[in-house]
Structure 1
Amino acid sequence: MTTTFDAIVLGGGAAGLFCAAQAGQRGKRVLVLEKAEKVGKKILISGGGRCNFTNLGAGSANYLSANPHFAKSALARYTPRDFLALVEAHGIAWHEKTLGQLFCDGSAQQVVDMLMTECAKGDVTILTSREVSEVEHREGAFIVAASGTLYGAHSLVIATGGPSIPKMGATGYAYDLARQFGLKVVEPRPALVPLTLGGEDVLFRDLSGVSAEVDASANKAIFHEAALFTHRGLSGPAILQVSSYWRHGDPVTIDFLPGRPRDWLLEAKRCAPRTQFRTLLREALPQRLADTLAERLGLDGDLGNLPDKALRAAQERLHRWTFLPNGTEGFAKAEVTAGGISTAELSSQTMETKKSPGLYAIGEAVDVTGWLGGYNFQWAWASAHACAQAL
């Protein structure tokens, strides 16, 4: 016997729950199937447990995709202010940290509770610990077999995310299902992920725990935030940001002293020739980092005793220090997944697949990846909203 609904949502994460709530409140009979024992597990660990639930500046320029225009429609129709209004309607206190990033004052559990309350308003059925074993499309309906039970609906929403953070139960199931229905998948890869160092750069691992405000760049993308040295390589917000743009074999360039005038070292030599080069660096950078850079540059002693040519070369190197990462820390440490179900297969208005009417894909399962700082949550809300209006 098959239990029928108007729509089945696979995945009880941010996008899946929000889509189900919105559709349910539009009068649709909606079922959410979640394979974990509880919904919203990634929400609970986000933002250090306080959930960076959106970013006030979210726009299409903050997202990576094979089609950079795809996200515009959904993001324009459901904005950060729209989600913030919902948060405030539920009495959730929030604060802006930096760069438009909004966090709960309390706990990420508040966002999960809010989504569950919204689902309850729409009379959504949520079943956890349900492993989907088979999906078929026959006689105009999608039939989903999960944990020994059959469920049917005219609409099916893929909201199972990507394989980042597998310890939370994340898998690439969305891509398997997409391929089953003949949809193209842009190769998934870890994004917002620490980079690992090898070769000569291994020496920088000794700086584990040291951080500094830098400009980090990779493939024309540049971010001004903190970089952190780790026992495996590079991390911190600036590195996580550029990791989404980085490809194997590419360099990552760091400006350790952003904003300094072009000939600042030569000016320092003129003004304070007895100042030690290493001392000058220590004034601008953490001591351990300053000492390491000075050693790598091979410069020591008073500025007045160092040739202008050597100081110019040091300036250039400090502003364009090149690292050659040998990889990333993989999906295990990636906050999100870049790539996914190709946007060429989807309507940007409704998130419905063009080849299989009634089949939709939203959130991280789609080839739309946001920057660090609440952007991926905003894509979850916006893509879910677009889908829910069409169900």
Structure 2
Amino acid sequence: MARQVDVLIIGAGAAGMMAGIFAARRGRRVLILDHARAPGEKIRISGGGRCNFTNIHAGPKNYLSSNPHFAKSALARFTPQDFLAMVEGHGIGWHEKTLGQLFCNDSARDIIRMLTAELADAGAELHLQCEIDDLEKTAAGFRLRCSAGEIIAASVIVASGGKSIPKMGATGLAYRIAGQFGLGLIETRPGLVPLTLDPQLLAELSALSGVAVDAEASHGRTRFREALLFTHRGLSGPAILQISSFWREGEDIQLAIEPDRDFAALLKAAKRENGRQAAQTALSQHLPKRLAQYITEREGLVRPLADMPDKALEALGQKLHCWPVTPAGSEGYRTAEVTLGGVDTSHLDSKTMQAKTVPGLFFIGECVDVTGWLGGYNFQWAWASGHAAGQAA
């Protein structure tokens, strides 16, 4: 015999659990299904195991979407301060790292325990290791067939995430359900992901693998100032992950190494103080030695500073602040933190996250075409969109 619930949620991640909490608080009979062995697996691994659970600066400007206005309503009605109040209510210690990023003092598992405790207190049920077979619309709502049996629900909230980090169990289930019910999709691609280089450039930069430096990565008018990391595959670090969401294959990105530092002036001063030293030696006072060696050898400036005209030193400084790189691609969904694109927001109500043409069907979190910057913004979208759907389903 089929089981009946008011709200069926597919996905026990950040968005799904948040939706379950708020739906159950309204007295709705809530069942959350997930194929994983434990809830909140992406929460568990996030932020180096400490979960960058929100960003105090989160606002619509920090999100990419084909409709940049779509996220405004949900973000305004459940703010970073609202989630922080929940965190503090559970006695979870937290700290601000940089740029408004809030982390747990101890473990990301504290956030998972908080969410599951809230679900239990509200009376929601969580069923794990459950495989979804089929979802169909009925006159009264929806019928889902899964490994746990048949479930009848008045409302269904799809919170199964995107395609990023498939080893954590990510699938395209949400997109298949959206397509089944006639909802449009915006092209999906990896976001917040390391970028790869072609073999020739990779070989040229091989000596820099493991080197990290403060840098600004830019693409068009978009720029991010954070750490840059050279890897054995290409480029990574927060600055690269941020710009990767704006970059497209075949396009350049611009790197500015230590953008606040006037390298030309430093090199000229070093030339006056000790003209016998090499440019590499002078640069290595301000940059990692391997990077200083690479850039001076690449520019053919391996003579003593006294033998170099000031124009050559100015050109070297300019190269460090305007270094164009054409990535070959990205590392893909395997290491991407998020999925760009997804369920077309023009098919959803921005206040409730409900499909406009399918009453009772909601899409939230990463599967929707709303993608945040690196730094807690995507978790805030999960909390906010989950809250919106939980209040309406």
TM-score (norm 2): 0.96
Contact 2:51 2:103 survives alignment (8 Å)? yes
The equivalent residue for 2:221 is 220
> Structure 1 stretch 240-249 or stretch 275-284: which is displaced more?
275-284
Residues 148-173 of structure 1 show CA distances to partners (whole Å, capped at 9, x for unaligned) of 51111121111000011101101111
1: distance between equivalents of 2:114 and 2:270? 60
The equivalent residue for 1:327 is 329
Contact 1:353 1:361 survives alignment (8 Å)? yes
Deviation of residue 270 (structure 1)? Answer: 6.8
The equivalent residue for 1:240 is 241
Contact 1:265 1:312 survives alignment (8 Å)? no
Contact 2:155 2:360 survives alignment (8 Å)? yes
Residues 87-113 of structure 1 show CA distances to partners (whole Å, capped at 9, x for unaligned) of 000011111111111111111111111
Contact 1:345 1:353 survives alignment (8 Å)? yes
The equivalent residue for 2:171 is 171
Residues 210-263 of structure 1 show CA distances to partners (whole Å, capped at 9, x for unaligned) of 100001112322111100111111111111111111110111211013013485
1: distance between equivalents of 2:239 and 2:350? 30
> Structure 1 stretch 314-323 or stretch 197-206: which is displaced more?
197-206
The equivalent residue for 1:56 is 56
> Structure 1 stretch 257-266 or stretch 328-337: which is displaced more?
257-266
Among residues 315, 318, 321, which one is paired with 2:317 in the alignment?
315
Contact 1:5 1:29 survives alignment (8 Å)? yes
Match of 2:285, SS state, is helix
The equivalent residue for 1:385 is 387
Deviation of residue 122 (structure 1)? Answer: 1.4
Deviation of residue 2 (structure 1)? Answer: 1.7
Alignment-mate amino acid for residue 371 of structure 1: W
Q: Which runs of structure 2 are paired with 1:138-217 in the superposition (5 Å)? A: 138-147=138-147, 149-202=149-202, 203-217=204-218
Work out the percentage of aligned pairs sharing the same amino acid.
53
2: distance between equivalents of 1:57 and 1:105? 20
1: distance between equivalents of 2:169 and 2:5? 26
1: distance between equivalents of 2:163 and 2:229? 25
1: distance between equivalents of 2:295 and 2:177? 49
Among residues 363, 366, 369, which one is paired with 1:367 in the alignment?
369
The equivalent residue for 1:258 is 259
Gaps of 5+ in 1: none
Match of 2:112, SS state, is helix
> Structure 1 stretch 154-163 or stretch 295-304: which is displaced more?
295-304
Alignment-mate amino acid for residue 143 of structure 2: I
Alignment-mate amino acid for residue 50 of structure 2: R
Deviation of residue 341 (structure 1)? Answer: 0.6
The equivalent residue for 1:345 is 347
2: distance between equivalents of 1:268 and 1:150? 76
2: distance between equivalents of 1:262 and 1:212? 15
2: distance between equivalents of 1:151 and 1:15? 21
Contact 1:249 1:326 survives alignment (8 Å)? yes
Deviation of residue 14 (structure 1)? Answer: 0.4
Match of 1:133, SS state, is strand
Deviation of residue 281 (structure 1)? Answer: 1.4
2: distance between equivalents of 1:209 and 1:262? 23
TM-score (norm 1): 0.97
Contact 1:201 1:323 survives alignment (8 Å)? no
Alignment-mate amino acid for residue 312 of structure 1: E
Residues 1-36 of structure 1 show CA distances to partners (whole Å, capped at 9, x for unaligned) of 221111110000000001101110111111101111
Deviation of residue 357 (structure 1)? Answer: 1.2
The equivalent residue for 1:268 is 269
Gaps of 5+ in 2: none
Deviation of residue 347 (structure 1)? Answer: 1.1
Aligned: 1:7 with 2:44: no
Deviation of residue 41 (structure 1)? Answer: 0.9
Alignment-mate amino acid for residue 91 of structure 2: G
Structure 2 vs 1, CA of residues 34 and 201 (structure 1 numbering), >3 Å: closer, same or farther? same
2: distance between equivalents of 1:44 and 1:134? 29
Deviation of residue 204 (structure 1)? Answer: 1.1
Residues 293-344 of structure 1 show CA distances to partners (whole Å, capped at 9, x for unaligned) of 1111111223332133323332222111111111111101111111111111
> Structure 1 stretch 116-125 or stretch 262-271: which is displaced more?
262-271
Deviation of residue 273 (structure 1)? Answer: 6.2
1: distance between equivalents of 2:290 and 2:267? 23
Alignment-mate amino acid for residue 225 of structure 1: E
